[in-house]
Every structure is written in C-alpha cells, then in structure tokens.
C-alpha cells in the first residue's frame, strides 16, 4: 500500500504571497488532518476533513484554509503569508477519528 504523499516537499515563498499544499492519503482512508510543526510551538492541529467536510478545526487564523476532494485528496491553502508561517506542514490520513494516523513526509515551507 502506498503511503501518504505530500507535494511539494520544499517551498520558498515571500511575505504576502499565498501557497497551496497537497496531500494524497492512503487508499481507503477518508480522514485527512493537517498539522503545523515548528521548533517553538511543537505540533499544532490545523484541521481535519472527512468525506469532503471539515469536521474539526484548530486555533488558526482564517488565512489557513483547506478542502478535500471526492477522492479524499486534500489541499491546504495559506494566504497572505507571514514570516511566522515558516514551518513543516504535516498531513496525516486515517480511517476515521481516533484510529491510527499515518503521516506524510511533510512540506517544508520557508517564508522570506
């Protein structure tokens, strides 16, 4: 079974730009969650999608948004990038809530 894939793996953007990150879950997994990982803040939950619906949302500003497609693939968008958005963005898929999550390798975003 193929694992969770995330594209791109590395990204450099400038302040004010927007960015879209993509996540392809494991086949058969309907839940996709997104996390922001930084050395100072640790792992912060962004949101979870299940069957194309946002089911849970973390405490992030509206600049962070996401969506899920009918094939369970998910995208995350960050608009008006700030320096503090520099982080490793992790995507994880699972069969549903509180099942084991399978994490992707992450997208490392650098905002300059």
Partner 1 sequence: AQTVTQSQPEMSVQEAETVTLSCTYDTSENNYYLFWYKQPPSRQMILVIRQEAYKQQNATENRFSVNFQKAAKSFSLKISDSQLGDTAMYFCAFNDMRFGAGTRLTVKP
* Binding region for partner 1 (CB under 8 A): 3, 33, 35, 42-45, 48, 56, 58, 90, 92, 94, 97-101, 103-106
Instruction: Name the minimum Å distance from CB 18 to partner 1.
Output: 25
Instruction: Name the minimum Å distance from CB 97 to partner 1.
Output: 7
Following DSSP, what letter does each residue of 35-97 receive, concatenated? EEEETTTEEEEEEEEETTEEEEE-S--TTEEEEE-TTS-EEEEE-S--GGG-EEEEEEEESST
Distance, CA of 104 to CA of 37 (rounded, Å): 13
Q: Which is nearer to partner 1, 3 or 8 (CB)?
A: 3
Q: Which is nearer to partner 1, 58 or 79 (CB)?
A: 58
């Amino acid at each position: 079974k193929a694992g969770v894939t995330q594209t791109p793996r590395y990204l450099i953007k400038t302040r004010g730009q927007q960015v879209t990150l993509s996540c392809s879950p494991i086949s058969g997994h309907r839940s996709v969650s997104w996390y922001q990982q930084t050395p100072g803040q640790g792992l912060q939950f962004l949101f979870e999608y299940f069957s194309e619906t946002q089911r849970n949302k973390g405490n992030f500003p509206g600049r962070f948004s996401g969506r899920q497609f009918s094939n369970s693939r998910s995208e995350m968008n960050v608009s008006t990038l700030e320096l503090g958005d520099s982080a490793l963005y992790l995507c994880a898929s699972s069969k549903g809530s509180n099942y084991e999550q399978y994490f992707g390798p992450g997208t490392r975003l650098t905002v300059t």
